[in-house]
Chain A
Amino acid sequence: MRLHAALALTACLSSGALAIFADDAGHIDYHLALVGLPKREDTFFQQPYAGSKASLLYTLSDKQVIGAVNPKDGAIVWRHSLSTSPNGTHGILRSGEDQDTIITAVGDRITAWSASDGRLAWETRFSGATVEDLEILEQEDGNTVGDVKDAVVLLNDATQGVKRLDGKTGRIKWTYQDTSGNTPFQVSTSPTHVYYISLHTSMLGASTVHVTSLSPVTGKKVDQYTLNTGNDISSRDQILFAGANSASPLLAWTDKAHSALKVNIIGTKGVSTFAAPSKETVERIILHAPNRVNSVPHFLVEYQTKTGHSAEVFHVNLVKSTISKAYSLPNLAGRGIFTTSTTDANVYFTRITSEEVSVVSSRSHGILGRWPIKSSWTLAGAYPVHGVSEVAVRSGSAHAVRSAALFSNGQWALVRNGELTWTRPEFLSGVVSAAWADLPEEETLAHELEVEGHQNVVAAYIHRVKRHIRDLEYFPAWLQALPVRILGNLVGNPSEPISGDIIEHDSFGFHKLVIVATDTGRLAALDAGSSGKIVWNIDLHQLSPGTTFEHPTLKTSRGYVELSDKGLVAPLLINVTTAGLLSAKEKAESVPVVRGQTLVFFDIVDGELKGFEGAQTNATPVWTFTPPTNERIVGWTARPLDDPVASIGKVLGDRRVLYKYLNPNLVLITTVSDSTRTASVYLLDSASGNLLHSTSHSGVDITRPIPSAISENWFSYSMTLDAAHNTASRGYELVVSELFESSIPDDRGPLGAAENSSAVGPNKGDALEPYVLSQTYHIPEEISHMTVSQTRQGITSRELLVTLPESNSIVGIPRYVIDPRRPIGRDPTAEEAAEGLTKYHPVIMFQPQWHINHKNEVFGVKDVITSPSLLESTSLVFAYGLDVFGTRLSPSFAFDMLGKGFNKVQMLLTVGALGVGVLFVAPLVRRKQINSLWTIP
């Protein structure tokens, strides 16, 4: 009987457990598929194939992610992360007109992607080289296959030179080797020539520009000349523009003071000089030129000053090879940008400021269309940084314009005729640190309850009554909202908040704030309960001017978040609801110390882990952990500060107890040895520095990450086995170890039933060693990061959340699967089966239902953080990196919440019908009872 029940239990555990229900997907989780901040040169509108009516928005971002965005709704059509090469900081995205592929060059890889679906067309690698520039040969020269346009690439390093690649296959057609030793700068094409531009740096530090013209057909050098740049150019940044695949490729540069603009039509030696507006110091000059062969050779030069911006439009006379100024656009205060768009041969310039969008033709300064930008909360206080536009012109006036612009607050927005169509919070792609923060309402309640807990009964009672009287102030509002809430509960979707107000009724604790800090120095708060809605988004440079934020770290306390960074003298305290700066006085005691406990701090100092009695760094260490010779510490993990444990023992099938080794001071250190290719883990008691347990694994690929997690009385870590090493097994391994006080059931180990324990006391070090059970599993994929789900009281079984970078997913491995007590080599006995143990199998396949991200691909996850909610069954999960993903986890199902399938209406109707029935039946029964008493039988 018992066996049967246990089998049934395990069967139900293993079959449907932990999967996300289809109707929950998209409601309990949220996913922001981001690409990163789009780059100015590598963002454009383009038809995915020749003759397509709609165009897509392509970009290569600063995170080396190529993405195609639907301009209608801002949704990602496809994207790829290209940042696999370590030196690939420079990326180029180009596409030819009427082509169905777009070509990227990142690091040493040149890849062509199908523009409509993102499939790989071809890829060429030049190992050891870096691609400096990439252009598409627009003209037909009989050398191309079909109508596929070839690419010209400029390589640096080992094989410095220009190569022409076949647009269909990526094969090299010709190579021009540059042996002059000049720094390769750019390639540019004109209908007749390929120009290779290199910089020659003289002894004095000034650079001269060398232009070599090549035959596009053979790659042979046709001509070479040096431009007379004088002493203008001392760094690459001063070259404003080179190229534009137009009929008249331009080379423009400026002097250091940004006082003059010098333009050369590539292929000629003449240099035209134009003075920049002299009213104010020009901070930046940007040249905008059309990128089409058949468009008119007009270009716009944008001058940015501290207070405003203006522009001048120039025309190129192709016959005479002269450049003349056509007209200028007036200076406007504030920040603004210009974008170029072409329709047939006509060139239009769109000016976008925070207030309005206006379109002018390149031929004359008459404004073709003007739309005020409707103010929006997401773009409040932000100004555009750069963008791209598409203009539709009908009968001489701009009919419609849509511009995708990156705004200064990190939002990538599409403005269509002045209206904000969509925004993409691309600044979130650079999140480097995140922390959970409770809503202030809950925080205050928790604080009040704490106060009451510490007072005597009478004072606590008075305090509570006062608190309730104060709460009455919210009563009318609550009463008003009640009908809406009840109605919403009955018919609406309970996970969707009814009001947009953040401080709203949140009985489940799902509405926690996630405070994120980005590498660009922005701080934002997301509401985890409302699909990751951005509550506020601030620039940290405004709070602390002059600081460069490298890697801000966050820590939340009651009502505020503490931000520290290397560049900051004292941590910034920021209110979590208002995003206002707090003074250091308002800082509360942050470390939860029980009275009478000795506090020990530990940190890595000079490759050793050291413990200190006190927060000062210069104090003498209480203990020091020095890794053995040749080993270096690669990481450490400590038990979370708040790690509630529901039961201190594990009940066996025969109802005996295996006591868990619960030490709050456990820290797991991972070390590697470069020479012997071994990875070791050391489990320390961080209060005393005692070594509790250690293991070593040989034949490990030490270049790969060794993530680890520790929770309750167990820890796990994962590693990659060395492929070159001659070992019996290869691949990825997951090791799980569990700590018990004793190997014998019903035994509490050497300490016995003693309630107090000290790791430092005399002769206790050896006696405190736990009994460790370990099991190793082979896993199909590499794990880059692991963490453990957290619930309020720790009753719900835990789940090991592992990040799989190869499949862009996050998998929650249930605890019972990685239980180190699984019997090896035999079937479990009836008692073991009653515990839910199954036979050990060396391979764990990640079940599809374990993927908490289900169909979403979560790119570039750096860290996953978890937090308990008010419901015991549910743990909140937030993952960040490139993408932002959040969900709710119920490892033992949502046992304390009504499911969506629960029919509240039916229940109410049943209760109502029963009530009505009782009303009718009650008089009948009463009459019958009276009659039975009064009539003679």
Chain B
Amino acid sequence: MATQAPPQWALDLTSAPTQKPKSTSIQDPPGFTAALSTKQRSGASKTPVRKTPTEEEMDTLKMKKAWELAIAPAKQLPMNAIGMYMTGNTLQIFSIFMVFTLFKTPITAILALQRVFAPYETPGTSSRLIVVKLVYILTNLVGLCLGIWKVNKMGLLPTTRSDWLAWEAERTWSERAIPRAWL
């Protein structure tokens, strides 16, 4: 048996009614898109297809993105600083965790430097990206400094004389005097 022609409903379904009824008082139901008329279609086909960006444009875009990424840690800084200030200088589990993340984030970020900027690496951008990377490292370091400041505030940095007191020795005296009664 030869293939049968598809039933009419199936044909109707594939080809939308070409003719719109004249009376347009009835609106199309929501979600229905009327097929463009040929005139319309010809007009649409006339607008040019968006041409693919050039290499240079692409690089500029990537650089923009990269800059944004480099500045991002600095944007978090004020919030972190306020948070650190509010937690106080006592050693509590909460502030210890906060300080820990404060140290962990910049360091992991710096370690993951190449991976972070890999999408923006092109032959055109690679030279310009160095500055961006440096700024990225710098902003992360500023975050790290905040952490150090906090640790110092908590009194954990051995910066004062008292921290090294245990390594300082008592003077040895070259004379020793004792009462004769103790002899």
Which positions in A face B, CB cutoff 8 Å?
A: 1-2, 5, 553, 555, 590-591, 593-594, 596-603, 611-612, 615, 636, 638, 641, 645, 647-649, 651-652, 654-657, 662-665, 667, 685-688, 745-746, 751, 753-760
Given the complex, which residues of A lie within 8 Å of B93, measured CB to CB? none
Selected contact of B172 from candidates A2, A599, A602, A755, CB within 8 Å: A755
Comparing B6-14, B21-29, B76-84, B159-167, the segment that makes contact with chain A is B159-167
Residue from A2, A594, A662 in contact with B170 in the complex, judged by beta carbons closer than 8 Å: A662
Interface pair B90/A5, CB less than 8 Å apart: yes
Write out the residue numbers on chain A whose beta carbons fall within 8 Å of the beta carbon of B180. Answer: 601-603, 612, 615
CB within 8 Å for A603 and B176 given contacts A1-B89, A655-B155, A662-B171: no
B89 cross-chain contacts in A, Cβ below 8 A: 1-2
Main secondary structure of the interface of B (DSSP, over half): mixed
Candidates B162, B163, B166, B175; contact of A600 at CB < 8 Å: B175
> In the assembled complex, which residues on chain A have CB atoms less than 8 Å from the CB atom of B169?
648, 755
Give A718 to B178 CA distance when docked, in angstroms: 24
> When the two chains form their complex, are residues A656 and B90 in contact, meaning their CB atoms are under 8 A apart?
no
Q: Are A602 and B165 in contact (CB under 8 A)?
A: no
Question: For residue B173, which residue of chain A has the nearest CB?
Answer: A757
> In the complex, are the beta carbons of A649 and B174 less than 8 A apart?
no
- In terms of DSSP, what is the predominant structure of the interface of chain A? loop
Contact between B155 and A601 (Cβ–Cβ < 8 Å)? no
The answer to whether A641 touches B170, judged by C-beta atoms less than 8 angstroms apart, is no
Q: Bound state CA distance, A636 and B182, in angstroms? A: 13
Which of the listed residues B90, B163, B172 has the most CB atoms from chain A within 10 Å of its own CB? B172
Given A1-B88, A1-B89, A1-B90, also A601-B179 (CB < 8 A): yes
| A435–B94 CA distance with the chains assembled, in angstroms | 54
For B174, list chain A residues within 8 Å (CB). Answer: 596-598, 756-758, 760
A602 contact from B160, B166, B171, B177, Cβ within 8 A: B177
**A641 is contacted by which of B90, B171, B172, B178 (Cβ under 8 Å)?**
B178
Q: How far is the CB of B56 from chain A (nearest CB, A)?
A: 54
Do A665 and B162 have beta carbons less than 8 Å apart?
Answer: no
- Out of B168, B171, B176, name the residue touching A599 (CB < 8 Å): B176
Other A-B contacts than A601-B183, A641-B178, A687-B176, 15 sampled, CB-CB below 8 A, are A1-B88, A590-B183, A591-B182, A593-B176, A596-B174, A598-B174, A598-B175, A600-B177, A601-B179, A602-B179, A655-B155, A655-B160, A756-B173, A757-B173, A759-B175
- Is the CB of B16 closer than 8 A to any CB of chain A? no
The answer to whether B171 and A667 touch across the interface, beta carbons within 8 angstroms, is: no
Which of A598, A603, A651 is in CB contact (< 8 Å) with B165? A651
- Report which of B88, B90, B171, B183 forms a contact with A591, defined as CB distance below 8 A: B183
Can you name 6 A-B pairs with beta carbons within 8 Å?
Answer: A555-B182, A591-B182, A615-B183, A638-B178, A654-B160, A662-B171
Question: In the complex, which residues of chain B have a beta carbon less than 8 angstroms from the beta carbon of A555?
Answer: 182
**In the complex, which residues of chain A have a beta carbon less than 8 angstroms from the beta carbon of B165?**
647-649, 651, 657
Going nearest first, the 10 A-B pairs with the smallest beta carbon separation are A687-B175, A686-B177, A600-B177, A655-B160, A603-B180, A651-B162, A758-B174, A665-B177, A757-B171, A746-B161
* B130 interface hit (Cβ, 8 Å): no
Residues of B within 8 Å of A5, CB to CB, are: 90
B181 within 8 A of A: yes
Task: Report Cα–Cα, A758/B172, bound state, in Å.
Answer: 8
Interface residues of B in 76-127 (CB under 8 A from A): 88-90
Whether A657 lies near B172 (C-beta < 8 A) is: no
Complex CA distance for A651 and B171, rounded to whole angstroms: 18
B168 and chain A: residue at smallest CB distance? A648
Contact across chains for A655 and B177 when beta carbons are under 8 A apart = no
| Residues in B neighbouring A759, C-beta threshold 8 A | 173, 175
Known A-B contacts A615-B183, A648-B168; the reply to A663 vs B173 at CB < 8 A is: yes
Residues of A close to B161: CB separation below 8 A? 649, 655-657, 745-746
Contacts A641-B182, A665-B176; A649 near B168 (Cβ below 8 A)? yes
What residues of A have a CB within 8 angstroms of the CB of B168 in the complex? 648-649, 753
Docked complex: B140-173 residues within 8 A CB-CB of A = 155, 160-163, 165-166, 168-173
Q: How far is the CB of B142 from chain A (nearest CB, A)?
A: 26
Asked if A751 contacts B177 (CB within 8 A), the reply is no
Residue of B nearest to A605 (CB): B180
Contact B172 A667 (CB under 8 A): no
With A2-B89, A648-B165, A649-B162 as given contacts, are A687 and B179 in contact (CB-CB < 8 Å)? no
B163, B173, B183: the one within 8 Å of A687 (CB): B173
In the complex, A44 Cα to B88 Cα: how many Å?
A: 75
Of B90, B160, B173, B183, the contact of A597 (CB 8 Å cutoff): B173
Whether the Cβ atoms of B181 and A603 lie closer than 8 Å is yes
Contacts of A664 in B (CB 8 A): 173, 176
Q: Point out the residues of chain A lying under 8 angstroms from B171, CB to CB.
A: 662, 751, 754-757
CB distance from B159 to the nearest CB of A (A): 8
Complex Cα spacing A800 to B140, Å? 55
- The answer for the CA separation of A662 and B172 in the assembled complex, in Å, is 10
Please report the C-alpha to C-alpha distance between residue A754 and residue B172 in the assembled complex, in whole angstroms.
Answer: 9
In whole Å, how far is A769's beta carbon from the nearest beta carbon of chain B?
Answer: 15
Q: Write the chain B residue with the least CB distance to A601.
A: B180
Contact residues, B28-63 vs A (CB, 8 A): none
A1-B89, A662-B171 given as contacts; is B177 within 8 A of A667 (CB)?
yes
Task: Please state if A655 and B163 are interface contacts (CB–CB under 8 Å).
Answer: yes
Chain A residues in 8 Å Cβ range of B90: 1-2, 5
Q: How far is the CA of A757 from the CA of B171 in the complex (A)?
A: 6
Query: Complex: how many Å from CA A597 to CA B88?
Result: 52
Task: Report the minimal beta-carbon distance from B160 to chain A, rounded to whole angstroms.
Answer: 4
With both chains docked as a complex, state the minimum distance between the C-beta of A572 and any C-beta of chain B, in angstroms. 15
Q: Quick one: closest B residue to A640, CB to CB? A: B182
For residue A638, which residues in chain B have a CB less than 8 angstroms away from its CB?
A: 178-179
